[in-house]
Amino acid sequence: MMLVRHFYVSQIAGDVTEVDVQVILGTAQMTNRRLDLTGMLAQGEGYFAQVLEGRSVAVAALMARIRRDPRHRDVRTLLEEPIQRRQFARWAMGLVQRDDMSAAMRDAHRHGCPDELHARRLMQALLDSPP
């Protein structure tokens, strides 16, 4: 069984409300538990960033659905890597509010990350220790 981690940043659609985000979270928690997927969703001003962990086929199938989701656009993958073990094993999907990281999310969305190290650092900064 091959475990992978996928980390992306996207631009939130203009009409998305707080309620919409709660609905996304509810769907995610239910579906992810069933598919043995784990991860975290960060929300900044205008941007989502999400990390998903699980079996590569399950992550790929979900990413295909997420890319088509009209509640955000321009899903930009920052990191996609095989992993030995999960970092967010306790969460089917958690949400962290990171308005303080909006500028970093915007930069990563516009320009990507120069290398994997930067991507990993951004992921840790966003998701590892919620404020």
Ligand X SMILES: Cc1cc2nc3c(=O)[nH]c(=O)nc-3n(C[C@H](O)[C@H](O)[C@H](O)COP(=O)(O)O)c2cc1C
User: How many of the chain's residues bind ligand X (CB under 6 A)?
Assistant: 16
From the list 27-35, 81-89, 110-118, 120-128, the region that binds ligand X by CB under 6 A is: 27-35
46-75: contacts with ligand X (CB under 6 A):
48, 50, 52, 62, 65-66, 69, 71-72
Q: What are the structure tokens assigned to 103, written together?
A: 């500028």
Shortest Å distance, C-beta 19 to ligand X: 13
Can residue 97 be called a binding residue for ligand X (CB under 6 A)? no
Based on the shown chain and the rule CB under 6 A, indicate whether residue 85 belongs to the binding site for ligand X.
no
| Residues in 29-48 at the binding interface with ligand X, rule: CB under 6 A | 31-32, 41, 48
Shortest Å distance, C-beta 49 to ligand X: 9
Q: How far is the CB of 70 from ligand X (least distance, A)?
A: 8
Termini Cα distance of the chain: 34
Rounded to whole angstroms, the Cα distance separating 103 from 45 reads 8
Residue 76 binds ligand X (CB under 6 A): no
Strand partners of residue 41: 50, 95
Positions touching ligand X (CB under 6 A) are 24, 27-28, 31-32, 41, 48, 50, 52, 62, 65-66, 69, 71-72, 93
